[in-house]
Amino acid sequence: MITRVIKRDGREVVFNIEKIASAIHKALDASTETNIKDPAQPRSQTSLELATLVAERIDQMGQRCPTIERIQDTVEQVLMETGFPETAKRYILYRSQRTHVREMKTHLMQAFHAMNPLATPAQGTSAAGKSPMMNQIPQTASDQLLKYGRTGACSYNLLYVLSPAVSQAHQNLDLFIHQLESYALTYADQPIDLRPLFSGGFRSGQASIRQPSDIRSYAALAGVATASIRQEISGSVYLLHFDRAMADGVRATRQRLGTRFGNWLPPEQAGALADEDTALATYQAMDAVLNQFKTQCFQSQSGESQTCVLFGLETDPESRLVTGKLLEAAGKVAGENPANSPLRKQPRLIYRLAAGVNLQPGDPNHDLFLLACQCCAQTGQPEFAFADPPTTNLATVTINLPRCAILARNDLNLFYQRLEHLLSLAIDSLLERYKTLQSLGCGNFPFLHGQPLPAADPAQADATTLASQLGKGSLAIGLTGLAETLVSLVGRHHGQSREAKDLGLEIVRMMQQTCTAASDRTGILFLLLADSDPLVARSFAESDRRQYGQIAGVTSHPAYTPGFSLPCRPILENEDRIRLESPYHQLVDAGRVLRVCRSTDAATSPGSIAAFVLQAAGSGVGQIIFDSLGD
């Protein structure tokens, strides 16, 4: 007779037949099968009889202290032999799900243990005796707690929120769900124009903040507003028309100083002194706000969440002063910190370009364009953008494109079948997340959706959930590693042969058509994103290298090439890189980035940067990033 059982951790506990009966009862409920001999018999009685048969079967084997696995195997056999095949299937599924939950809990505890700074005190020291973490920002107690929280939230979402197929695909790195820890809590990116926010003041938390009256207070409140937004979203904040928003502060400062100096100086001298002090105050304000933005950076599950500052198209004197001083303050960082220092990290500065505004000599802002090129030569920033500002991105799922090619083994039909399957999974995952976000209350976003509403917008006054707000947002499907995908399929990437280029365009076009079809079918905007997240590209490459080994030109690199970009090696002429990559910019909706690897001193000069930008103008390129030295 069975008296004790051995649990999975090796402990012996008292045998309880009711636990077997309870598990069988749940499987019977799921299958709706009945006892063939007595269809009217209650399931509770049927399950208890079956559990008794299981105990007798194990007793006949001579096992007085069986393992949990032996008991579960016997349950499956008894169910099949006694005419409950569907119940057996449900029990097997239940057992598999329980196993998965246990494995995830074990994995979570292992992840927590790995993050414990006391668990591995000897790690992180190189052969030279220096820690490889020296050039990284130190991990404080608050940072560690955030990591524990994010890891726990990710595990919970994988176990209980995502569908099993999507959860498994993410864990296998067939695809990557960005900001997984915030899956059921918030959305990703938020563009905002600060000027309407500042007009009349705004609310931050429990405090009401009056309209600023000086460029320094404008800059300080820009930092406050950005920090408040970052607490409510999981991705990046895009500050639209930053120069225009700050220009009001320049005007207020200039007027106040002019009035003060005019009380004791002649008008001409008072005006000159006011201009000088306003310029100094503007520089100090831009330097301070950049420092604020830098300290707000934090690590999310898919990389750095950033503050993105868009500027450059305003031509009035006050906006031009803001742009000039912002670039001057950004350029100062290069001289104060080494290239690999975390203190050199900046928010993303995005200098917008337009014909007739700043591209050609004689344009009103051409001098500022040249100053931006000089700043970029020193720091790698700003980025240069021809494309329109981004819309609100709610969520992103990136597909491991190179793995589809590796598993296809040069068979294009198999490649497209696997890609279609992953696209379907990504769309289903994004739609599920969209439904979850719709149920969130506006009270979860006190800053973004708690500001005083304009009198002309009473329709939003009664809104209690985000359902009415999300229609303005988009869902993104990301692609990365196109170059490695093509190498795996045809032996060359899109910069090496016409065949590879045509195939690359065909793949991206197919993904774009799938996004368009999903938009038409659901009424929700789906975008194709050329993903440039370095953590995703590195994670995909490392996973594929572990599973499939070193594949020349594919897994042989530390990370996959971002989006549809060409590899930095070999070096291409500017005209060739623009010609080869620009067709892909027409096919994707977001992430239209042309990355330029600055490998020589000549390539980093302001003149060469300006020349490259002018060459790209009119080619359809959305944005240009000059990678910093050493990246």
- Same domain? For 213 and 329 the reply is yes
Identify the residue whose tokens are 């009198």.
455
pLDDT of residue 300: 41
H or E element at residue 359: none
Q: Mean per-residue pLDDT for 376-380?
A: 88
Tell me the per-residue pLDDT of 307-334, one tens digit each, with 9 for 90 and over.
999 999 999 999 999 999 999 999 886 5
The shares of helix, strand and coil residues in the chain, as percent rounded to the nearest 5, are 55, 10, 35
Looking at the predicted structure, is the pLDDT value of residue 122 above 80? no
Q: Distance from CA of residue 290 to its chain's centroid?
A: 22
pLDDT of residue 585: 93
- Rounded Cα distance, 494 and 477, in Å: 21
Kindly tell me the burial class for residue 222, based on how many C-beta atoms sit within 10 Å of its own C-beta (0-12, 13-18, 19 or more): buried
pLDDT of residue 624: 93
Secondary structure (3-state) at 445: coil
DSSP string, 481-508: -HHHHHHHHHSS-TTT-HHHHHHHHHHH
Tell me the per-residue pLDDT of 493-524, one tens digit each, with 9 for 90 and over.
999 999 999 999 999 999 999 999 999 999 99
Secondary structure (3-state) at 122: coil
- Same domain? For 403 and 319 the reply is no
CB 139 within 8 A of CB 146: no
Kindly tell me the burial class for residue 73, based on how many C-beta atoms sit within 10 Å of its own C-beta (0-12, 13-18, 19 or more): middle
E strand intervals along 151-227: 175-177, 190-193, 202-204, 207-209
pLDDT of residue 342: 44
* Domain boundary, last residue among 565, 588, 617: 565
Pick the residue with more confidence: 602 or 39?
A: 39
- Rounded Cα distance, 140 and 295, in Å: 14
- Rounded Cα distance, 188 and 178, in Å: 9
383, β-bridge pairs: 350
Secondary structure (3-state) at 593: strand
Q: Mutual orientation of helices 242-262 and 215-230 as an angle, nearest 10°? A: 150
C-alpha closest to that of 151 among 107, 117, 187, 119: 107
pLDDT of residue 117: 63
111-115, 160-164, 300-304: the lowest-pLDDT one? 300-304
- Same domain? For 413 and 328 the reply is no
pLDDT of residue 496: 92
Please state whether beta strands 393-400 and 593-597 pair in parallel, antiparallel, or not at all (unpaired): unpaired
C-alpha closest to that of 482 among 544, 414, 580, 405: 405
- Same domain? For 468 and 540 the reply is yes
Pick the residue with more confidence: 83 or 357?
A: 357
Looking at the predicted structure, is the pLDDT value of residue 217 above 90? yes
- Same domain? For 401 and 264 the reply is no
Confidence of residue 143 (pLDDT cuts 50, 70, 90): confident
Pick the residue with more confidence: 105 or 623?
A: 623
Question: Which tokens go with 134?
Answer: 């020296």
Write the DSSP symbol of residue 159. Answer: I
Is 292 a member of any domain? Answer: yes
pLDDT of residue 343: 43
Is 482 a member of any domain? Answer: yes
- Rounded Cα distance, 65 and 51, in Å: 16
- Same domain? For 348 and 247 the reply is yes
Confidence of residue 11 (pLDDT cuts 50, 70, 90): confident
- Same domain? For 344 and 415 the reply is no
Looking at the predicted structure, is the pLDDT value of residue 83 above 80? yes
Tell me the per-residue pLDDT of 451-494, one tens digit each, with 9 for 90 and over.
765 544 444 444 567 777 788 899 999 999 999 999 999 999 99
- Same domain? For 246 and 344 the reply is yes
- Same domain? For 420 and 337 the reply is no
Is 321 a member of any domain? Answer: yes
Domain count, the chain: 3
Residues 6 or more apart whose Cβ sits within 8 Å of residue 55: 2, 17, 20
pLDDT of residue 170: 94
Other Cβ atoms less than 10 A from the Cβ of 557: the count is 18
Tell me the per-residue pLDDT of 536-581, one tens digit each, with 9 for 90 and over.
999 999 999 999 999 999 999 899 999 999 988 777 787 888 999 9
Please state whether beta strands 303-305 and 307-311 pair in parallel, antiparallel, or not at all (unpaired): unpaired
pLDDT of residue 132: 34
Question: Which tokens go with 135?
Answer: 């050039």
- Same domain? For 90 and 205 the reply is no
C-alpha closest to that of 480 among 368, 576, 370, 562: 562
- Same domain? For 204 and 345 the reply is yes
pLDDT of residue 139: 65
- Segment of 48-57, 82-91, 332-341, 521-530 carrying the highest mean pLDDT: 521-530
* Domain boundary, last residue among 352, 381, 414: 352
- Rounded Cα distance, 463 and 449, in Å: 10
Is 379 a member of any domain? Answer: no
Q: Distance from CA of residue 248 to its chain's centroid?
A: 33
Please state whether beta strands 175-177 and 12-14 pair in parallel, antiparallel, or not at all (unpaired): unpaired
Q: Mean per-residue pLDDT for 57-82?
A: 87
Give, in order, the Cα–Cα distances in Å from 442 to each of 431, 446, 502: 20, 7, 47
Q: Mean pLDDT across the chain, nearest whole number?
A: 85
Is 87 a member of any domain? Answer: yes
pLDDT of residue 115: 65
Kindly tell me the burial class for residue 384, based on how many C-beta atoms sit within 10 Å of its own C-beta (0-12, 13-18, 19 or more): buried
Residues 6 or more apart whose Cβ sits within 8 Å of residue 145: none
- Rounded Cα distance, 359 and 616, in Å: 11
Confidence of residue 629 (pLDDT cuts 50, 70, 90): very low
Give, in order, the Cα–Cα distances in Å from 475 to each of 26, 427, 505: 38, 9, 22
* Domain boundary, last residue among 565, 594, 622: 565
- Same domain? For 431 and 314 the reply is no
Is 370 a member of any domain? Answer: no
Kindly tell me the burial class for residue 10, based on how many C-beta atoms sit within 10 Å of its own C-beta (0-12, 13-18, 19 or more): exposed
- Radius of gyration of the chain, Cα coordinates, nearest whole angstrom: 30
- Rounded Cα distance, 199 and 162, in Å: 42
pLDDT of residue 113: 67
Is 476 a member of any domain? Answer: yes
Domain housing 41: 4-95
215-219, 398-402, 449-453: the lowest-pLDDT one? 449-453
Is 145 a member of any domain? Answer: no
Total residues found in the chain within this entry: 631
3 state SS for 100-116: HHHHHHHHHHHHHHHHC
Amino acid present at 240: L
Alpha helices by DSSP H, 341-387: 366-379
